[in-house]
Structure 1
Amino acid sequence: MITRVKNQIVQGKHNKPILTDVFYDDTKKEQAVVIFCHGYKGFKDWGAWDLVAENFAEAGFFFIKFNFSHNGGTIKEPIDFPDLNAFGKNNYLIELDDLCSVLDWVAASGSLYKKFINTQKIILIGHSRAGGITAIKASEDIRVSKLITWASVSDYESRFPKGEVFDRWKKEGVYYIENGRTKQKMPHEFQFYTSYEENKERLTIARAVKNIRIPHLIIHGTADPTVDVQEAKEIHTWNPESELFLVNEADHVFGAKHPWNHHKMSKDLTIITEKSIEFTSF
């Protein structure tokens, strides 16, 4: 029987809660753990992520998904972005710390889940921007057994504003990106850039991928309009031992959207979920 526990609080390092969901089969012991990390302007309850979680749990995995502490959600409103102040203060280091906090929570496992979790088998899945976060963490944390990236970016530096937009950002201390779905003006404080520059070596995805010594599955859609498929091919060249799995004509979210009002996943999301489950089997 699949048990679903929503909106548990994991204490992080930055005075913001990390809201966490777990899905697992309560009849099985010592299940391998899958930790799913959402991407930019994402959240754990986006679209069909619950269906992904259920599929992994039905396949015998203890599946965890969570909101990064500064993704803009709150305890009372974990969906969408009621806390734009927190969103503006987010950066890559905070997201790495959040993922570390979730890994620490899994390692401790607690009395409630201890018998269900095998802490020697931990798989990270990162979508889009979080593909880079999970790759960096996988390269530096020996607790991670396998890595899967979905539609991952290959670098962070090229995504910062350029020219006059950058100069205005530096001068004013904040710039805004419109959320196409919610129409919110989402802020980025200039510290987002300076924290990257101050930690550039650690935050270079190419460096991290070249240092990965565990199985790595790279999944990407060939028609991704947000992160070009060439970025997946580039990541693959940095780690020739990795596996590259391309989904013909798939987009950035593999046919899903938010809200997702269906009982089944999209065709492409089903394909990549099944492929990921196959890859995560020990």
Structure 2
Amino acid sequence: MKLSGAVASTEGLPIYYDLYTPDSFDKGDDLPVILFVHGFKGFKDWGAFPEACKQLSSGGFAVLAMNFSLNGVGESMTEFDQLDLFARETFSQDLDDIGSVVTALKEDSIELPEDCSLETENIGILGHSRGGHTATTAAAEYSEIKCLVTWSAVADYKERWSSNPLMVADWEEGGVTEIKNGRTGQMMPLKKIVFEDILENADRLVAVKRVEELSSPALFIHSRGDEGVSYKEAEKLYGHCSSEYKELQLMPDSGHTFDTSHPYDGGDLPSTFQKVLKNTGQWFKNHLQ
């Protein structure tokens, strides 16, 4: 079952979400929660993400997939029609958005199916790409988050952007840079405030720093053939992670999204993505349920 809604961000903007729950569950039993967070130039309805959330929920979880409030996608859910918001999507606001969702879950502000209740002190988080970076910091930030899985995660966005001289020059000279969306062809503005935010708040916002604080189980999954984010990023996160229960899984060459694409045609999921999804579900079953 899927229910959709929105939670207010700290700025009062909507954080759109979809809550997936199993078709059947034992009344009176609280379902553990998994938060799913998308990446840069991403959204909760991208490609096979909804199908992945649906399948994860069938394992006995409530899976809440969220759009960050500043991700640039409005009520259409699939179009970047709010580029003014995208231009100022800071890591601080993304992290605060996760906190707003956690609070809403604990305060019973999320609509649930009849007779369904959630285990809001036992939350897992799953993030893709930039979302994996933010999910890592959230796992260190919020005590309710007890388990982490990342897909194709960036380890250090501060270093990633600092090492791009063209972007830095744009920010220093004009206060904004533009990034092309390869799928839509849109030129997407990114203001200097986004760069300044992670520079000034690195101790809170950089994943490879915060992962050193983790004691909760953490699984890092990456494709060896990721053309957008090297698998060495996952190795870095794994190496710096302090958890006694951690694992690194490197998949065969399958790109940044494990051979999935947008839009998803509803057919069989690619074999590598199926394996990623199976291993993710098993990790949450082992460490969250």
TM-score relative to the length of structure 1: 0.94
Q: Shift in Å at residue 129 of structure 1?
A: 0.6
Structure 1 residue ranges, 4+ long, deviating more than 6 angstroms after superposition = none
Aligned residues: 278
Instruction: Tell me what 1:4 maps to.
Output: 2
Q: What is aligned with 1:149?
A: 150
After superposition, the C-alpha distances for 1:202-240 in whole angstroms (9 at most, x for unaligned) are 122222111101000111111111111111111111126
Aligned pair partner of 1:276 in 250, 271, 280: 280
Amino acid in structure 2 at the alignment position of 1:213: S
| Structure 2 segments unaligned to the other structure (5+ residues) | none
8 Å CA contact 2:86–2:190 kept in 1: the answer is yes
Tell me, yes or no, if structure 1 residue 50 matches structure 2 residue 47.
no
What do residues 76-122 of structure 1 show as CA deviations (whole Å, max 9, x unaligned)? x1212011111001110010011111111111234843833111321
Report the Cα offset of residue 201 of structure 1. 1.5
Distance 2:137 2:190 in 1: 22
Q: Residue 216 of structure 1 aligns to which amino acid in structure 2?
A: A
Letter in 2 for 1:12: S
Contact 2:203-2:210 at 8 Å conserved across structures: no
Residues 51 and 264 in structure 1, CA contact (< 8 A), matched pair in contact too: no
Partner residue of 2:21 out of 21, 24, 36: 24
**Contact 1:224-1:251 at 8 Å conserved across structures:** yes
Is 1:252 aligned to residue 237 of structure 2? no
- Alpha carbons 2:23, 2:58 under 8 Å: kept: no
* Structure 1 unpaired stretches of 5+: none
1:61: which partner in 2? 61
What is the match of residue 74 of structure 1?
74
**Separation of aligned partners in 1, 2:93 and 2:247:** 29
Deviation at 1:165, TM superposition (A): 4.3
Match of 2:199 among 191, 197, 200: 197
Equivalent residues of 2:198, 2:206 under 8 A apart: no
Q: Which residue does 1:101 correspond to in 2?
A: 100
Identity value in percent: 29
Give the counterpart letter for 1:84 in structure 2: L
Q: Counterpart of 2:21 in 1: which secondary structure?
A: strand
Equivalence for 1:116: 117
| Residue in structure 2 matched with residue 14 of structure 1 by the alignment | 11
Amino acid at match of 2:81: P
Q: Distance in 2 between matches of 1:112 and 1:89?
A: 29
Matched AA of 1:38: H
1:115 counterpart letter in structure 2: C
> How big is the shift at 1:26?
5.1
Distance apart, 1:16 and its partner CA? 1.5
User: C-alpha displacement at 1:31, in angstroms?
Assistant: 1.1
Q: Which amino acid aligns with 1:64?
A: L
Q: Which residue is equivalent to 1:186?
A: 188
Aligned residue type for 2:158: E
Aligned to 1:84: 83
Tell me which residue corresponds to 1:33.
33
Query: What is the letter of the counterpart of residue 194 of structure 2?
Result: F
RMSD over aligned CA atoms reads 1.6
CA contact (8 A) 2:43 2:71 kept: yes
The amino acid of 1:280's aligned partner reads F
Partner SS for 2:219: strand
Residues 50-81 of structure 1, C-alpha deviations (whole Å, 9 max, x = no match): 11011112111101101100101112x12120
